[in-house]
Amino acid sequence: MSTHVTTAAAGSLWEGGRSPYLTNSKKFGMWLFIVSDALTFSALLFAYTYSRVSNPNWPTPFHFSPSIVFSSVMTFALLTSSLTMVMAVHSMNQGNRAAAGRWILATMAAGALFVGLHLTEWMNLIRHEHVTAFGNEWGVPLFGATFFAITGLHMTHVVIGLIYLGIICQAVMRGKFQAEDVEVAGLYWHFVDLVWMFVFPLVYLMSAKV
């Protein structure tokens, strides 16, 4: 029996010295980070939902124009930036560093557009709807607290992503870093996009006022 066990273990992917996921450690590390960060955002979105359900007079301050129009354009910018990021990884896999650099720059431009529009939308909400993180005209301070916490954390992720992509981009253009490094940066960027796919409908569209 012991012979059988030894043979089986020798053939196991999990014995050590082999990569059971057939992927590199940087990519696996990024996946683990993404899973932990997904739990953070899930907890925040649940806190938002909990607060909303427990407060029947939850505000609906997002006018279709400009708030929903702005946030829709932001969604378009983020989805497009994911496409350009995929193109950057694709170019890098084909060994075309110049094209990869240009696609990363395009991704950063779309990301910067997202941040710019988001800040404008925040200012609109603060100035015209008088919503802050501590209070609003509807008497539901939890709305501002959860809204600014979720969108603020997401925007922080986008800004960190822009810095991350900037570092990767200059390195790629100078002939440093490999395709896997661009792919790992891409995983982070797609995750930022992924989170917005839940924030946009749950926070904005569910509180739209036409």
Partner 1 sequence: MSTHVAEIQSHGPGVPTFAKVWVALLAMTAMEVFLAYMQTPMMIMLTVLLGLSVIKAALIIAYFMHLKFERLSLFLTLFPMLIFCIVLMLIFLGDAYRIPMMRPPV
Cβ proximity of 164 and 8 under 8 Å: no
Computed from CA positions of residues 64, 70, 75, 80, in that sequence, does the dihedral angle turn out positive or negative? positive
Minimum CB separation from partner 1 for residue 155, in Å? Answer: 19
Q: Does 119 bind partner 1 (CB under 8 A)?
A: no
Q: Does 90 bind partner 1 (CB under 8 A)?
A: yes
The Cα–Cα gap between 120 and 153 comes to 16
User: Which residue stretches of the chain are H helix?
Assistant: 2-10, 25-54, 69-93, 97-128, 141-173, 179-199
Contacting residue, 10, 11, 16, 56, with partner 1 by CB under 8 A: 56
Residue listed under structure tokens 């590199």: 24
Minimum CB separation from partner 1 for residue 1, in Å? Answer: 27
Minimum CB separation from partner 1 for residue 175, in Å? Answer: 20
Q: Does 206 bind partner 1 (CB under 8 A)?
A: yes
Here the tokens at position 52 are 């909303």
SS3 62: strand
Residues 6+ apart with CB under 8 A from 49: 202
Pick the stretch among 40-48, 97-105, 146-154, 158-166 that binds partner 1 (CB under 8 A): 40-48
Q: Does 73 bind partner 1 (CB under 8 A)?
A: no
Q: Does 29 bind partner 1 (CB under 8 A)?
A: no
**Can you give the binding site for partner 1, defined by CB under 8 A?**
13, 18-24, 28, 31-32, 35, 38-39, 42-43, 46, 49-51, 53-56, 64, 68, 72, 75-76, 79-80, 82-83, 85-87, 90, 93, 183, 186-187, 190-191, 193-194, 197-198, 200-202, 204-206, 208, 210
